[in-house]
Amino acid sequence: MGRTKYAIAFALALVMALGAVGVASAAVPVDSSQLRDAVGVGGILEHERAFQAIADSNGGTRASGTPGYDESADYVAEKLESAGYSVTRQVFDYDLFIENSEPVLDPTDPDLPAYTPGDMPDDDFSTMSYSGSGDVTAPLQAVGGIIIPSPGGSASGCTAEDFAGFEAGNIALIQRGTCNFREKVENAQAAGAVGVVIFNEGNVVPDDDRVGNLFGTLDPPQMKVPVVGTSFAVGEELYNLLQQGPVTLRLVVDATVEQRTTENVIADTTTGRADRTVVVGAHLDSVPEGPGINDNGSGSATILEVAEAMSELDIQPRNRVRFAFWGAEESGLIGSEYYVSQLPKRELKDIAVNLNFDMVGSPNYVRFVYDGDASDTNSLGSTGSGVVEDVFTDYFASQGLASEPTAFDGRSDYDAFISVGIPAGGLFTGAEDIKTAEEAETYGGAADVAYDPCYHQACDSFTPLADGADPAAYAAIEAGYPPGTLVGNLNTQALDEMSDATAHGTLTFAQTTSAVTGTNKGSGAPMSSAAKYHGPLLQR
């Protein structure tokens, strides 16, 4: 789950009721208590245990393009068919980026210690997805547009003019900002660069990390040269070294791209208005490194439990509900993008809203709600997304529970929907970022520890400590919650609260009598050229 974003201001004249929430001008409020009572943590954990067993039988992973994912899709499809849904399995091909060994970023002249690669914010650098392969040692050259210190808005590498005077055969040093990463790298390749180092921008903005390790994706096809992203500190150090004299770097990336086949699992209610379809989505795949019990077994298990509960209660929705389990999210939101791209214009217009649930059981959780009206964060979005935000924030308020806004930054599957103007929103309990003292006081758990210390690791499982997680981190988290709250890498308190909110939001939009207004809804005209990445894969 990887952040310049578009800050979109919304002018919404929308009134939401507290507690039993109606949507926009809907006259009939929705009482979700029966559905919330039917959605239980026990049922969610049953699905999670099935996901764990599937991973255990398939090399410890449920990544798209692997037998573990295929079995996960079989499991979900069988459950939904048994519950009476109309199930479609949407098969598609995609390019899977595979990093075969750790990258290298090593200043050889002056001879300094090599930088540390890794997947955490405090590591020095990481390979950008769809980087080219190569082992090059060459002079480093700064590209025009670098701003240090940065107030934001660096356009380094965004135009051919930025490479005026660039010497072919050098490694390009570029600052994050303004245009997307692929544009910067394509310009560098055109100028003759044999490698690219893109460093984080260095400005501090609310709810956004422009300082730490930069995790980026370049999107297929694979680039021709090796490309890594670094923290601002690494970039600043390299830039300052260049002001003192020549710098030579060794840059190594060993990566390949393979075409794989995977699928989305789509399940529709058999009743409800098709011209006001509510798409309730979660990605089903894990990363290759682990079973993905929180990311995103928690989201998939939760919406599966909601679907089964709606069937058991014989709820007849006014609007069709479509439960979607996306494939290849971890490879760049590919499944949800493919789904939206294949919809005819008429069917695009029929989608009223997308609800996205990506990680809702984080061990050190916060109740995050996507900031649909961009009032608190630098968010992407489409008009009407503020309505979705209000449904969730008003629900939590009605239960006496605090919630926090989180940015629509392109990290998850909502992006495909807001990019064509469809209103979207959803819930999130946190990934690799660090919990603040204020958040720990409000939500419990441990300050100065990641929301999910096992994010994108093998220990995102039912037995995290057995798989290498930091015992001290989990002891600190556990001390902040009632005994028994943590089950492996899941927080059952989070699952209980967030699944109730998921059920409430799903039923609210399933039964509303009003449309949720979207801008360019279903037109195919993008509202943004948002990043296609995850966890956190950063485009700008």
Q: Are residues 428 and 478 in the same domain?
A: yes
- List CB contacts of 415: < 8 A, sequence separation 6 or more: 333, 336, 337, 380, 530, 531, 532
Q: Are residues 244 and 132 in the same domain?
A: yes
Residue 493 belongs to a domain: yes
Query: Cα–Cα distance between 434 and 392 in angstroms, integer?
Result: 23
Look up the CATH number of the domain holding residue 119: 3.50.30.30
Query: Cα–Cα distance between 107 and 122 in angstroms, integer?
Result: 19
Q: 495 phi and psi, to 5 degrees? A: -60, -40
Catalytic residue status for 329: yes
Residue 4 belongs to a domain: no
Active-site option among 308, 329, 389, 439: 329
pLDDT in tens, 150-203: 888 899 999 999 999 999 999 999 999 888 899 999 999 999 999 999 999 998
pLDDT in tens, 82-122: 999 999 999 999 998 999 999 999 999 999 999 999 987 78
Cα–Cα distances in angstroms (integers) from residue 287 to residues 56, 65, 250, 374, 457, in the given order: 14, 11, 28, 30, 8
pLDDT class for 528, splitting at 50, 70, 90? very low
Q: Are residues 324 and 401 in the same domain?
A: yes
Q: Are residues 149 and 174 in the same domain?
A: yes
Q: 87 phi and psi, to 5 degrees? A: -105, 135
Q: Are residues 76 and 151 in the same domain?
A: no
pLDDT class for 517, splitting at 50, 70, 90? low
Q: Are residues 191 and 231 in the same domain?
A: yes
- List CB contacts of 165: < 8 A, sequence separation 6 or more: none
In order, the DSSP letters of 21-66 are ---TT-SS----HHHHHH--HHHHHHHHHHHHHHHHTTTT---TTS
Mean pLDDT, the chain, whole residue set: 89
- The answer, yes or no, to whether residue 131 has pLDDT greater than 60, is yes
The domain of 361 spans 33-95+260-511
**End residue of a domain, out of 215, 235, 253:** 253
Residue 26 belongs to a domain: no
pLDDT class for 29, splitting at 50, 70, 90? low
Of 271-275, 319-323, 420-424, 522-526, give the lowest mean pLDDT range: 522-526
**End residue of a domain, out of 231, 253, 275:** 253
Q: Are residues 79 and 227 in the same domain?
A: no
User: What pLDDT is attached to residue 60?
Assistant: 96
Residue 494 belongs to a domain: yes
- List CB contacts of 271: < 8 A, sequence separation 6 or more: 316, 317, 320
Residue 524 belongs to a domain: no
Q: Are residues 204 and 125 in the same domain?
A: yes
Tell me if 467 sits within 8 A of 458, measured CB to CB.
Answer: yes
Q: Are residues 244 and 264 in the same domain?
A: no
Look up the CATH number of the domain holding residue 391: 3.40.630.10
Cα–Cα distances in angstroms (integers) from residue 419 to residues 337, 354, 425, 445, in the given order: 10, 12, 13, 35
* Listed residue (14, 68, 71, 34) closest to 423, CA to CA: 14
Residue 314 buriedness (CB in 10 A; 0-12 / 13-18 / 19+): exposed
Q: Are residues 88 and 108 in the same domain?
A: no
Cα–Cα distances in angstroms (integers) from residue 415 to residues 96, 229, 334, 418, 522, in the given order: 20, 22, 11, 5, 14
pLDDT in tens, 324-380: 999 999 988 999 999 999 999 999 999 999 999 999 999 999 999 999 988 888 777
Rg of the chain over all Cα atoms, to the nearest angstrom: 23
Torsion over CA: 115, 119, 122, 128 (sign): positive
Residue 134 belongs to a domain: yes
What one-character DSSP code corresponds to residue 235?
Answer: H
| The total number of structural domains that make up the chain | 2
- List CB contacts of 347: < 8 A, sequence separation 6 or more: 522
Q: Which amino acid is at 484?
A: G
Q: If you search the block for the tokens 């692929």, which residue do you land on?
A: 182
Residue 39 belongs to a domain: yes
Residue 10 belongs to a domain: no
Tell me if 248 sits within 8 A of 110, measured CB to CB.
Answer: no
Q: Are residues 213 and 266 in the same domain?
A: no
**End residue of a domain, out of 253, 279, 306:** 253
- The answer, yes or no, to whether residue 58 has pLDDT greater than 90, is yes
Q: Are residues 119 and 224 in the same domain?
A: yes
